[in-house]
Amino acid sequence: MVRTYIKRVQSAVASGDHSAADAALTTAIPVIDRMADKGIMHKNKAARHKSRLHSAVKALKTA
């Protein structure tokens, strides 16, 4: 489930659509946090994913 949301953000970033990438990131972050809270994903891995996705979306805005 979490990989689906990560892939949605990555595909929106690859297409260059900032608004779609931002919307996908907004929906992906709670899912990633939920998986980390349940212990499915390590908390540091979740933080790393969120950081990388956020920086990719932010770089899209400035580009």
Q: For residue range 16-63, what is the model confidence (pLDDT) as tens digits?
A: 999 999 999 999 999 999 999 999 999 999 999 999 999 999 999 876
Burial grade of 8 (CB within 10 A; 0-12, 13-18, 19 or more) = middle
Confidence label for 11 from pLDDT (cuts 50, 70 and 90): very high
Question: Is 60 within 8 Å of 34 (Cβ atoms)?
Answer: no
Contact residues for 45 (Cβ-Cβ < 8 A; gap 6+): 36
Q: What's the rounded Cα separation, in Å, for the pair 35 and 49?
A: 12
CB atoms within 10 A of CB 34: 14
